[in-house]
Amino acid sequence: MSESNAFVAGGGGFVRLRDSSNGFSAEINRQKRLEAERLAQKQAENERRERKLADEKAQQQILNEGRAREAFRDYHNPAKRGEIAAMNKDFSHK
Protein backbone atom coordinates (compact mmCIF):
# COMPACT_ATOMS: atom_id res chain seq x y z
CA MET A 1 0.00 0.00 0.00
CA SER A 2 1.43 3.42 -0.92
CA GLU A 3 1.50 6.37 1.42
CA SER A 4 -0.78 9.26 0.75
CA ASN A 5 0.06 12.88 1.39
CA ALA A 6 -3.56 13.78 1.96
CA PHE A 7 -6.75 12.26 3.29
CA VAL A 8 -10.43 13.03 3.36
CA ALA A 9 -11.54 14.21 6.77
CA GLY A 10 -14.74 13.03 8.42
CA GLY A 11 -16.69 16.00 7.11
CA GLY A 12 -15.68 15.27 3.52
CA GLY A 13 -13.02 18.01 3.40
CA PHE A 14 -9.62 17.48 1.87
CA VAL A 15 -6.76 17.93 4.36
CA ARG A 16 -3.14 18.14 3.24
CA LEU A 17 -0.74 16.34 5.56
CA ARG A 18 2.41 17.91 4.16
CA ASP A 19 3.42 20.01 1.21
CA SER A 20 5.41 17.73 -1.05
CA SER A 21 5.83 20.40 -3.74
CA ASN A 22 8.58 22.06 -1.68
CA GLY A 23 10.59 18.86 -1.86
CA PHE A 24 10.08 18.60 -5.60
CA SER A 25 10.96 22.22 -6.30
CA ALA A 26 14.06 21.93 -4.12
CA GLU A 27 15.16 18.88 -6.10
CA ILE A 28 14.46 20.62 -9.42
CA ASN A 29 16.43 23.68 -8.27
CA ARG A 30 19.30 21.45 -7.12
CA GLN A 31 19.36 19.69 -10.50
CA LYS A 32 19.29 23.03 -12.34
CA ARG A 33 22.17 24.32 -10.20
CA LEU A 34 24.20 21.15 -10.83
CA GLU A 35 23.54 21.37 -14.57
CA ALA A 36 24.58 25.04 -14.59
CA GLU A 37 27.80 24.12 -12.74
CA ARG A 38 28.51 21.32 -15.22
CA LEU A 39 27.96 23.66 -18.16
CA ALA A 40 30.22 26.32 -16.62
CA GLN A 41 32.93 23.74 -16.00
CA LYS A 42 32.62 22.41 -19.55
CA GLN A 43 32.82 25.95 -20.96
CA ALA A 44 35.90 26.70 -18.85
CA GLU A 45 37.56 23.50 -20.10
CA ASN A 46 36.76 24.39 -23.73
CA GLU A 47 38.21 27.89 -23.27
CA ARG A 48 41.36 26.44 -21.68
CA ARG A 49 41.77 24.01 -24.58
CA GLU A 50 41.26 26.79 -27.15
CA ARG A 51 43.87 28.99 -25.41
CA LYS A 52 46.34 26.10 -25.39
CA LEU A 53 45.80 25.41 -29.10
CA ALA A 54 46.16 29.12 -29.92
CA ASP A 55 49.44 29.26 -27.95
CA GLU A 56 50.78 26.17 -29.73
CA LYS A 57 49.76 27.61 -33.10
CA ALA A 58 51.50 30.91 -32.32
CA GLN A 59 54.68 29.09 -31.26
CA GLN A 60 54.62 26.98 -34.44
CA GLN A 61 54.14 30.10 -36.54
CA ILE A 62 57.14 31.76 -34.88
CA LEU A 63 59.27 28.67 -35.61
CA ASN A 64 58.07 28.56 -39.22
CA GLU A 65 58.84 32.25 -39.73
CA GLY A 66 62.36 31.70 -38.41
CA ARG A 67 62.88 28.78 -40.77
CA ALA A 68 61.51 30.81 -43.67
CA ARG A 69 63.87 33.73 -42.93
CA GLU A 70 66.82 31.35 -42.75
CA ALA A 71 65.83 29.64 -46.02
CA PHE A 72 65.39 33.02 -47.70
CA ARG A 73 68.85 34.17 -46.58
CA ASP A 74 70.42 30.87 -47.66
CA TYR A 75 68.73 31.01 -51.04
CA HIS A 76 69.98 34.53 -51.72
CA ASN A 77 73.50 33.76 -50.49
CA PRO A 78 75.53 32.88 -53.63
CA ALA A 79 77.93 30.78 -51.57
CA LYS A 80 75.10 28.47 -50.45
CA ARG A 81 73.03 28.48 -53.62
CA GLY A 82 74.73 25.39 -55.02
CA GLU A 83 74.39 23.64 -51.68
CA ILE A 84 70.64 24.31 -51.64
CA ALA A 85 70.24 23.08 -55.20
CA ALA A 86 72.10 19.87 -54.31
CA MET A 87 69.86 19.35 -51.27
CA ASN A 88 66.73 19.89 -53.36
CA LYS A 89 68.02 17.47 -55.97
CA ASP A 90 68.61 14.82 -53.28
CA PHE A 91 65.07 15.24 -51.94
CA SER A 92 63.44 15.15 -55.36
CA HIS A 93 64.65 11.59 -56.00
CA LYS A 94 63.23 10.16 -52.79
Q: Please, which pLDDT band fits residue 40 given cuts at 50, 70 and 90? A: very high
Task: Give the C-alpha distances (Å, rounded to integers) separating 18 from 11, 25, 29, 42.
Answer: 19, 14, 20, 39
Rounded mean pLDDT, 50-64: 96
- Residue 50 CA to residue 28 CA, distance in Å, equals 33
Least confident of 14-18, 24-28, 31-35: 14-18
Q: According to the model, what pLDDT value does residue 24 have? A: 79
Residue extents of the structural domains in the chain: 21-92
Task: Note the pLDDT tens digit of each residue in 62-72.
Answer: 999 999 998 88
More confident residue, 70 or 78: 70
Q: What's the mean pLDDT in 11-27?
A: 64
| Predicted pLDDT at 3 | 47
